[in-house]
Copies of this chain bind each other. A is one copy, B any other.
């Protein structure tokens, strides 16, 4: 496929570009008034995620409005537990909520198979196909999934949490069951990502939102290992691994079969480079709170970030854009 703007893909392939490509995590949704209007006209967040033409519409909005160099499909990492049979609800202000959670071997056995989950996510593949058609080669589309540890954390905890202490308790008390569940999530995620690529995703990102909650040993055992399996199973497109707070895992990330490592704003570019090595591209890492500052100030922080990263850099935030970020065009 030929893209009119392909600087994102060029950087991922290690080619020279005139400037770092830029996109914003959570650019599809949240801050644009067009998004809020569309969202308000629907029953809930899930209806938007599960309705391909609406998901495509909000995916494309920031390309038109912000002029970013890549689109990312509007969806949620929790479609995987949902497809495995653990339905989530998205509560306004409170975030995700699972009426039923995993607490035993029989709960894990009762889940759908990875293949069934793959088939139950047709609405995402449809949204991707439709988006790619409507983007018409303007910019590439990024697909994504959650890292197995983060997905397991939600499936056990049942909701957002500062500590995810119930999910971590499961790792300490039921390590074998935890590995069985991580296996299942990993298999489903691989099939899911491959279908996203078939539908037209030109790059993939794995989000490990709760990476920062685990010790180095647990993170290696319960997260990096499974992220590695996903990376090694995907051949046709590049992959970005974004593990928020996983500063201790950067050494291990150097060995992943992925092209891009996402950094949050607490990870210094120089420090990360010494850990990860020169072969990978970095993505990030402006503090989303910088976007509360004046336009001049935002410009200053951005120029500083770009100069600190140097080459092999995709400019982005260090976390998704916050909902109350002022939109100044």
Chain A interfacial positions (CB closer than 8 Å to B): 160, 162-163, 165, 168-169, 171-173, 212, 214-216, 218, 245, 247-248, 265-266, 268, 271, 287-290, 292-294, 297, 319, 322, 324
Given known A245-B212, A248-B268, contact A324–B288 (CB-CB < 8 A): no
**C-alpha gap A218/B324 in the complex (Å):** 21
Query: Which chain B positions have C-beta within 8 A of A162?
Result: 160, 162
Q: Is the CB of B215 within 8 A of A172?
A: no
Q: What is the minimal beta-carbon distance from A233 to any residue of chain B, in angstroms?
A: 28
Complex contacts, A171 vs chain B, CB 8 Å: 289
Q: List 29 A-B contacts (CB under 8 A).
A: A160-B162, A162-B162, A163-B288, A163-B289, A163-B322, A165-B289, A165-B324, A168-B287, A168-B289, A168-B292, A169-B289, A169-B292, A171-B289, A172-B289, A172-B290, A172-B292, A172-B297, A173-B292, A173-B293, A212-B212, A212-B245, A212-B266, A215-B265, A216-B266, A216-B268, A245-B266, A247-B247, A248-B268, A248-B271
A215 touches B287 (CB 8 A): yes
- Bound: A172/B287 CA distance, A: 10
| Distance to closest chain B CB from A53 (angstroms) | 32
A214 touches B165 (CB 8 A): no
Instruction: Give chain B residues whose Cβ lies under 8 Å from the Cβ of A245.
Output: 212, 245, 266
Residues of B within 8 A of A163 (CB): 288-289, 319, 322
Counting from the closest, the 10 A-B pairs by CB-CB distance are A168-B289, A169-B292, A172-B293, A215-B265, A165-B322, A172-B292, A169-B289, A215-B287, A172-B289, A165-B289
* Complex Cα gap A216–B318 (Å): 13
CB distance from A159 to the nearest CB of B (A): 12
In the assembled complex, the Cα of A111 lies from the Cα of B287 at a distance in Å of 30
What's the least CB distance linking A156 to chain B, in Å?
12
Expressed in whole angstroms, the Cα–Cα distance for A212 and B213 within the complex equals 11
A247 to B169, CA, bound (A): 24
Kindly list chain B residues whose C-beta atoms are within 8 Å of the C-beta of A172.
Answer: 289-290, 292-293, 297
Other A-B pairs beyond A160-B162, A168-B292, A247-B248, 16, CB < 8 Å: A163-B288, A163-B289, A163-B319, A165-B289, A165-B292, A171-B289, A172-B289, A172-B297, A173-B294, A212-B212, A212-B245, A212-B266, A214-B266, A245-B245, A248-B266, A248-B268
**Chain B, Cβ-Cβ closest to A161:** B162
Residues on B with C-beta less than 8 A from A319 are 163
Q: In the bound complex, how far is the Cα of B162 from the Cα of A245, in angstroms?
A: 13
For the complex, give the distance between the alpha carbons of A266 and B216 in Å: 6
Complex Cα distance A324/B248, Å?
28
| Chain B residues within 8 Å of A292, by CB | 165, 168-169, 172-173
Chain B residues with CB under 8 Å of A322's CB are: 163, 165
